[in-house]
Amino acid sequence: MPPLPAWGAPESEPLLAVEDLHVEFVTRQGTVKAVNGVGYALHPGETLAVLGESGSGKSVTAQAIMGILDTPPARVPKGRIRFRGTDLLGLSEDARSQVRGSRIAMIFQDALSALNPVFTVGSQIAEMFRVHRGMSRRDAERRAVELMDRVRIPGARQRLHDYPHQFSGGMRQRIMIAMAIALDPEVLIADEPTTALDVTVQAQIMELLAELKRESDMGLILITHDLGVVADVADKIVVMYGGRVVENAPVHDLYRAPAHPYTRGLLDSIPRIDRKGRELHAIAGMPPNLLDMPPGCAFAPRCPYRQDDCVTAAPPLHRIGSTRGSACHYWREVLDGSHG
Amino acid sequence: MAATGDAILEVRDLVKHFPLTQGVVVRKQIGAVRAVDGISFDLRRGETLGIVGESGCGKSTLAKLLMGLERPTRGSVRIKGREIAGAKGGELKRIRRNIQLVMQDPYTSLNPRMTVGDIVGEPYEIHPEAAPKGDRRRRVQALLELVGLDPDHVNRYPHQFSGGQRQRIGIARGLALQPEVIVCDEPVSALDVSIQAQVVNLLARLQRDLGLSYVFIAHDLSVVRHIADRVGVMYLGKMVELGRDAEVYGQPAHPYTQALLSAVPVPDPEGRERRERIVLRGDPPSPANPPSGCRFRTRCWKAQEVCAQQEPPLQLRPGTWHESACHFPQIHDVIRAF
């Protein structure tokens, strides 16, 4: 049994590294291959955006990192998740639960269903300190008020004894964030944290996350489908499609010159002023069926660059320079911008 | 998509209050949720009017009022001069043939136990005069083809289709009675990003080919900008700004519109550090208890005494070329890339 991950490992080592991760779900209709060899790395202080549509495997990967997949039906046949050098998949459930919540924390899209409706928000935040830090009720409550102040909940002391339903959507997401950062985690995973919120409230929450990140050296994994949110805050981007990483790149490089046809298609389909009144570039077809994945590249059936070899051989993640990669045989053509 | 002048849909001082009651045996009204509180606009033939606003601003209630699915507390909705707001029975049915709804969620708005042919053809059951019985199957197949689906799939069930295809089924159903006005309530927001563009293109093509007029309700400002000729911005049951798309997006006059536009994340990281962003304080107030005067004043950085006392009407104001409802309108150029 490997030891618990050390605090502050060597500089060269990423904070969190997912390597060749596979996750499948055994269902009555067959085995759903949700994640097929995903890899990405997060360094301290970094914001990594994981971009993908429903069914791309972006959330399942995050759940595997947190160790909150239901097994069964889920199964992790292969892969490693190294946190500070230790493979989390090799740890006992006991050891993992010491990492979960306190060193790697997560916030979810739907704060209302993630909070317990029958306990006050104060007691739910305080529970973090009581369970993980063994604090007394009074001390834990004092810390809860501090945290609610820190995530800018007005009148924190008075609202300590309110229930989740008494808060607005934006305030509930702040409470979720307060619980997530309670124990100063080294990694925060935010799964579509603003998707359920209005634009003006979304801006508030993104600003809060950026602020909290500036105050610590926390690494942030932001899971989203929104190309706008990614462009606003990310340092690096991982694009997922059909359970694979199809492209990774620093944010400016990716928006300036995508190297995968799927990324290119997504960027081209954004409505722009200069294209008003004309057809939007739409990606033809629809996302793959995870029960019945095509043998080659999962994007091939929708791809304007498709050649014969795309249908037979799944392309590996080709390295482009030292900072980016693309899982397309024809990444050079895509990068040049010439349509196949 | 040039609009040809005459109004096909006229909305005047439309109000919908939902009563709040207390007590089980003796119910008494203790207040009202003012979902839509005095809205007027015209929709011209062939035009797309975008309605944007955040949750709780009343845009979905507005859609139901336009369709005659809710009775307004006050005000009128006229389609080609005929009043739908107070209409009943056969009269309501006849008017409704001219206005149809495309809903947000293609997963819950289609009956899972009906075939696609039955779903798309159902309007003919309600309006038998629209198509003779023997002709219906052919018409349904033509509709499926029109929205880009395989006409041979009439006997399939909704679960055999993807989200984007289901939305196409919903659109085909909306077109069955050959309406002139279609109300689209968040028609693409439940779809994956790569599918949204397909459906937006389809709606634009149908408008061109069939001469439809759209009321396009959405919270995604970039999609609305792409498809709309004019845009109305709603806040807490009121229209706070209304004008041509280039005016509202390029020269917003109302502080709320400015904040809304500046809050939308721009899908381009270039220059993101320098981008101006107006981050509003707090949440929108409850529509059951809206602030006096201007409803936006509690979150507005320009608010003064007069804003609490007088409600600013939606009108043309000095220095602007489109209507806004602010005592201190000022064109503010929020530079946008979308």
Distances, alpha carbon B111 to alpha carbons A45, B86, B106, B170, B282, in Å: 49, 29, 10, 11, 40
Q: Express each pLDDT in B52-70 by its tens digit.
A: 988 888 988 999 999 999 9
Distance, CA of A77 to CA of B42 (rounded, Å): 60
Query: Is A166 contained in some domain?
Result: no
Q: Is the pLDDT of residue B143 over 70?
A: yes
Average pLDDT score, chain A: 88
Rounded distance between C-alpha atoms, residue A334 and residue A316, angstroms: 16
The per-residue pLDDT for B4 is: 55
Q: At A315, which helix (H) or strand (E)?
A: none
pLDDT per residue, tens digit, chain A (340 aa), is 456 666 655 556 799 999 999 999 998 888 888 999 999 999 999 999 999 988 899 999 999 999 998 888 889 999 999 998 899 998 888 888 888 888 999 998 887 788 899 999 999 999 989 988 888 999 999 999 998 988 888 888 888 899 998 888 888 888 988 898 888 899 999 998 888 778 888 888 888 888 888 888 899 999 998 888 899 889 999 999 999 999 999 999 999 999 999 999 999 888 877 677 788 888 888 888 888 888 899 999 999 999 988 998 889 999 998 899 999 999 999 988 755 4
d(CA A238, CA A222): 10
Q: What is the DSSP letter of A250?
A: E
Token duo for residue A110: 């739907």
What sign does the CA torsion over B155, B156, B157, B161 have? negative
Q: Nearest to residue A106, comparing CAs of A243, A219, A260?
A: A219
Binned at pLDDT 50, 70 and 90, residue B1 comes out as: very low
User: Binning pLDDT at 50, 70 and 90, where does residue B334 land?
Assistant: low
Distance between B220 CA and the closest CA of chain A, angstroms: 9
Using a CB-CB distance cutoff of 8 angstroms, which residues of chain A are in contact with residue B204? 279
Q: Which of A207, A276, A281 sits opposite B279 (nearest CB)?
A: A207
Contact B218, A289 (CB under 8 A): no
* Of B234, B197, B282, residue with least CA distance to A227: B197
Q: What would the DSSP string read from start to end of A24-57?
A: EEEETTEEEEEEEEEEEEE-TT-EEEEE--TTSS
Q: List B residues 236-265 in contact with A (Cβ-Cβ < 8 A).
A: 245, 259-260, 263-265
- For residue B162, pLDDT over 80 is answered with yes
Confidence of residue B257 (pLDDT cuts 50, 70, 90): very high
- Are the C-beta atoms of residues B226 and B312 closer than 8 Å to each other? no
Using an 8 Å CB-CB cutoff, list chain B residues near A267: 267
Domain boundaries, chain B: 233-285+292-337
**Could you tell me if A148 and A162 are in contact, meaning their C-beta atoms sit under 8 angstroms apart?**
no
B269 close contact with A: CB closer than 8 A: yes
Residue range of the domain that includes A314: 16-103+227-339
Choose among A247, A190, A265: nearest CA to A220.
A190
Structural domain total, chain A: 1
Q: Is A254 helix (H, G, I), strand (E, B) or coil?
A: helix
B269's CB contacts (< 8 A; 6+ apart) are A231, A232, A234, A251, A252, A255
Yes or no, beta carbons of B264 and A228 under 8 Å apart? yes
Q: How many CB atoms lie within 10 A of CB A57?
A: 24
Whether B173 contacts chain A with CB within 8 A: no
**A260 close to A325: Cβ distance less than 8 angstroms:** no
Residue A51 lies in a domain: yes
Closest partner CB to A266 (pick from B165, B194, B263): B194
Mutate to test the interface with A, among B206, B266, B283, B298 (most CBs of A within 10 A): B283
Is the Cβ–Cβ distance between B277 and B259 less than 8 Å? Answer: no
pLDDT at A125: 92
- The answer as to whether A39 is a domain residue is yes
Report yes or no: A302 and A285 within 8 Å, Cβ to Cβ: yes
Q: Give the DSSP H/E element, type plus range, for residue A185.
A: none
Residue A147 sits at the chain B interface (C-beta within 8 Å) = no
Q: Count of alpha carbons within 13 Å of A285, Cβ hemisphere only?
A: 12
Position A323 in a domain? yes
d(CA B219, CA B217): 7
Closest-CA residue to B208 (of B47, B100, B10):
B47
CATH number at residue A270: 3.40.50.300
Contact A266, A10 (CB under 8 A): no
Yes or no: say if B227 and B48 are a contact pair by the CB < 8 Å rule.
Answer: yes
Q: Which of helix, strand or coil describes residue B138?
A: helix
ipTM of the complex: 0.79
Residue A189 placed within a domain? no
Could you tell me whether strands B230-235 and A16-27 are parallel, antiparallel, or unpaired per DSSP bridges? Answer: unpaired
A275 near B CB under 8 A: yes
Structure tokens at A188: 């925060």
Rg (C-alpha) for chain B, rounded Å, is 21
User: The whole model's pTM is what?
Assistant: 0.85
Q: Could you read off the pLDDT of A119-169 as tens digits, one per residue? A: 999 999 999 899 888 889 999 999 999 989 888 888 888 888 999 988 888
pLDDT of residue A7: 62
Identify which of B164, B272, B280 has the shortest CB distance to residue A231: B272
Report how far residue A218's alpha carbon sits from residue A15's, in angstroms, rounded to the nearest whole number: 9
Residue that has been written with the tokens 């037979």 in this structure: A312
Neighbours of B161 (CB within 10 A): 19
- Summarised one tens digit per residue, pLDDT across range B194-217 is 888 999 999 999 999 999 999 999
Residue position matching structure tokens 């890339």: B337
B197–A229 C-beta distance less than 8 A: no
Cβ-based contacts under 8 A for chains A and B: 123
Instruction: Report the candidate in B69, B21, B59 with the shortest Cα–Cα distance to residue B37.
Output: B59
Is A267 among the domain residues? yes
Q: What residues in B contact A273, CB-CB < 8 Å?
A: 225, 336-338
- For B164, counting Cβ atoms within 10 Å of its Cβ (0-12 exposed, 13-18 middle, 19+ buried), the class is buried
**A205 lies in a domain?**
no
Listed in order, strand segments (DSSP E) in chain B are 7-22, 28-44, 48-52, 74-79, 82-83, 99-102, 181-185, 213-217, 230-235, 238-244, 315-316, 323-324
